[in-house]
Amino acid sequence: CHVSERRKAGILPSLEDLLFYTIAEGQEKIPAHKFTTALKATGLRTGDPRLKECMEMLKVTLKTTSDGALDRHLFKKCVQSNIVLLTQAFRKKFVIPDFQPFCAHMDELYDNAKNLSGGQVADYIPQLARFSPDLWAVALCTVDGQRHTVGDTKVPFCLQSCVKPLKYAIAVHDHGTEYVHRFIGKEPSGLRFNKLFLNEDDKPHNPMVNAGAIVCTSLIKVSTVMNFMNKLAGNEYVGFSNATFQSERESGDRNFAIGYYLKEKKCFPEGTDMTAILDFYFQLCSIEVTCESASVMAATLANGGFCPITGERVLSPEAVRNTLSLMHSCGMYDFSGQFAFHVGLPAKSGVAGGILLVVPNVMGVMCWSPPLDKLGNSVRGIQFCTDLVSLFNFHNYDNLRHFAKKLDPRREGGDQRVKSVINLLFAAYTGDVSALRRFALSSMDMEQRDYDSRTALHVAAAEGHAEVVRFLLEACKVNPVPRDRWGNTPMDEAVHFGHHDVVTILRDYHTQYSPQETAANKENAEQNLDGLL
Ligand code: GLU
C-alpha cells in the first residue's frame, strides 16, 4: 500500500525529501521549532530575506496543523520556494560549514576582550561623550549570509571614519579607478589622519585620511548615497544623527582648514562647491548603523560587492578590490602598518569606536566599543582582531596548507556520516558521476542507505541516470539488488519509470555475475576503480 501511494503521488527522493530526512532524523514529522532550530544552527536567520517565501508559508501552514508539526507533504510545501538555499545550508555547503563551534569561539574572543578597561571615549562632541565605556559588541555575517552577534549589537552609533572606505567604493563604482585616482593617491601618509598635508603631486595621500575623504566626497552624489548604504546593509538598520552632524560642523575647524587648503591647491573637480562638500562630509560621518547592520556592509565587501543576504550586486568587483587594498594599508590611522603586519586583514576604524573588518571571501565583521587607544582605535576591537587571527588562519599570509597550528573554520568537520549519505544520494539524483567518482575515491561507502533504506543505485535507476548506474555497478561493485523500505530494488524503479537503458544495464549485470561472484568481486573493487576513475 505504501508503494502504490508513494508512486501515485509521484514522490521521488526529491531535494525536499532529502532535506526532510536530514532534519526529521527518522521521525514521521518535523515539529516547527525543530526546523527553525536546525535552520539557525546553520547560521541562517528566519528573518533572512532569501527565506521569505518559506517562512510565510510555514506560518500559514502551521495554522492548519493541530500539533505544530510538519509531515513530509507539508514540509515540502513550506520549503520548496527556497529549496536551493536550504539544501546548501543543510548539506554544509556554506563557507563556515560547522557554524555553531565557530560561534562558540567568537564568543570566547568577545569575552576575552570584554575585560579590558583601558582607553578613552571620544569627548570632542557630546553625542560621542555620552556613550558608556562598557559598551561592547561584535557581529559577523559570512559571504553566505550566516549570522552571529554578541553583546550590544543593536545600539545605533555613527560610522564616522568607517564610512570612508564605503564612499571611496561608491566613487570607484561610479567613475572607475583611473578617474578617482586623478584626485587622490594610494599611499599611506605616515601622518595623523587629520593633518593638513598633501603628497608631492599636491593630492591627498589616500581616501582613508580626512583630506582624501573630503575630496572623495566631492566625487559621489548626495542623491544616491543612502540608497547605496541601505543596499550594502541588506536593508538592515541605517540611520542618520542630525545632532552629530550639527556638532561635527560646529567643531570641524580642522576639516574646514583642510577644505580651504584643498580648494587652494585645486584638488576638487572643477565647479565643486567646497563648503557644500564639507557639509556632505560631516553628514556622511553622521550616518548611523548598528553592529549587526554594519556587519552586513562588511560582508558585502568580503563578497566582491554582492550583498550576501539579498544577493544584490551593490558595488563593482573593481571598487571592492581597491577598497580592501587601501583599508589594508591605510585603514587604522597610525597603527595601519602594525595592523597589516599582525592582523593582515583589511579594516577601517572610526572615532565612535567601530572597526569594520573584512575577511575576504569569508565574512564581514563589525566590532564596536567606544574606548579608544592613543592612536584612535577601539581598544577592545583591536584585541578582538588580534585574537581572531591568532586562533584562525585568517591572516592574509597564513599558509592554508601547511600552517596546522591554527584553526581553519572553512574546513569541514563534524557529522560526516549524515552528510555523506545526503551528498551521495544527491549526486545520484542529479546524475553527477564526477562527484560520485570523488566520493568513491575518498573511500566513501557507496552502499549507504537513507531512512527509507534507499541507496544511490535506487535513486540513479529511478532517475534514469545510466552512466551513474554503470559506475556504481562496475566500478564500485555495489549490491545490485538492495531492497528499500517498500521492498523495491533498483530494477523495479527502472522498470516502473520506463528507463529501458537502465533496465538493460541491470539485466546484463545480473546475467554476467551471480550474487556470490559479486561479493567476491567487491574485493577487487579498488583495482577496478583505478581503471575507471
Ligand atoms: N568626524 C571626524 C573627523 O572628520 C571623524 C573622525 C574619525 O572617525 O576618524 O574628524
Cα–Cα distances in angstroms (integers) from residue 279 to residues 218, 252, 399, in the given order:
11, 10, 45
CB 321 within 8 A of CB 181: no
Find residue 148's DSSP bridge partners.
140
Q: Give the integer Cα–Cα distance in Å for 348 and 366.
A: 10
Tell me the CATH number for domain 102-391.
3.40.710.10
Residue written as cell 514540509?
Answer: 75
Task: Specify the amino acid at residue 295.
Answer: S
CB-count burial class (<10 Å; 0-12, 13-18, 19+) for 453: middle
The answer to whether the 102-391 and 413-512 domains have the same CATH topology is no
CA dihedral for 267, 270, 272, 273, sign (positive or negative): positive
Distance 347 CA to ligand 1 centre (A): 16
CB 298 within 8 A of CB 358: yes
Mutate to test the pocket of ligand 1, among 123, 351, 372, 374 (most ligand atoms within 8 A of CB): 351
CB 161 within 8 A of CB 350: yes
Distance 484 CA to ligand 1 centre (A): 67
Does 160 sit in the ligand 1 pocket, CB within 6 Å?
Answer: yes
pLDDT digits (tens, 9 = 90+) for 368-404: 999 999 999 999 999 999 999 999 999 999 988 776 6
Kindly state the DSSP code that residue 473 receives in the 8-state scheme: I
Q: Which of 444, 484, 490 is nearest to 463 (CA)?
A: 490
Does 210 sit in the ligand 1 pocket, CB within 6 Å?
Answer: yes
Does 334 sit in the ligand 1 pocket, CB within 6 Å?
Answer: no
| Topology adopted by domain 413-512 | 1.25.40
SS3 letters across 369-406: CCCECCCCCEHHHHHHHHHHHHHECCCCCCCCCCCCCC
Q: Whose CA is nearest to atom 4 of ligand 1?
A: 210
Distance 203 CA to ligand 1 centre (A): 19
Mutate to test the pocket of ligand 1, among 123, 127, 167, 193 (most ligand atoms within 8 A of CB): 193
Atom of ligand 1 nearest to the CA of 333: 9
The number of beta carbons lying within 10 Å of the beta carbon of residue 123 is 10
Q: Give the integer Cα–Cα distance in Å for 292 and 153.
A: 6
Atom of ligand 1 nearest to the CA of 252: 10
CA angle at residue 32 from 27 to 36, to 5 degrees?
105
pLDDT at 530: 42
Task: Specify the amino acid at residue 276.
Answer: A
Q: Whose CA is nearest to atom 2 of ligand 1?
A: 160
Answering whether pTM is above 0.75, one says: yes
pLDDT at 414: 44
H helix or E strand, kind and range, residue 408: none
Show the low-confidence residues of the chain (pLDDT under 50). Answer: 1-4, 7-8, 11-12, 413-415, 517-533
Q: For 379, how many CA atoms within 13 A lie in the half-sphere containing its CB?
A: 19
Residue written as cell 586583514?
Answer: 345
Q: Which cell numbers hold the place of 532? A: 575507471
pLDDT digits (tens, 9 = 90+) for 287-346: 999 999 999 999 999 999 999 999 999 999 999 999 999 999 999 999 999 999 999 999
| C-alpha 442, offset from chain centre | 28
CB 208 within 8 A of CB 330: yes
Does 248 sit in the ligand 1 pocket, CB within 6 Å?
Answer: yes
The number of residues in the chain equals 533
Distance 79 CA to ligand 1 centre (A): 47
Does 351 sit in the ligand 1 pocket, CB within 6 Å?
Answer: yes
H helix or E strand, kind and range, residue 129: helix 126-129
Instruction: Locate the domains of the chain by residue range.
Output: 15-91, 102-391, 413-512
CB 384 within 8 A of CB 295: no
Kindly state the DSSP code that residue 158 receives in the 8-state scheme: E
CA angle at residue 327 from 324 to 331, to 5 degrees?
170
Does 350 sit in the ligand 1 pocket, CB within 6 Å?
Answer: yes
The number of beta carbons lying within 10 Å of the beta carbon of residue 178 is 8
The CATH architecture one would assign to domain 15-91 is: Orthogonal Bundle (1.10)
pLDDT at 169: 98
pLDDT at 122: 98
Mean pLDDT of the chain: 91
H helix or E strand, kind and range, residue 348: strand 347-349
Atom of ligand 1 nearest to the CA of 376: 9
DSSP letters spanning 278-329: HHHHHHHHTEEE-HHHHHHHHHHHHTTTB-TTT--B-S-HHHHHHHHHHHHH
pLDDT at 370: 98
Distance 126 CA to ligand 1 centre (A): 14
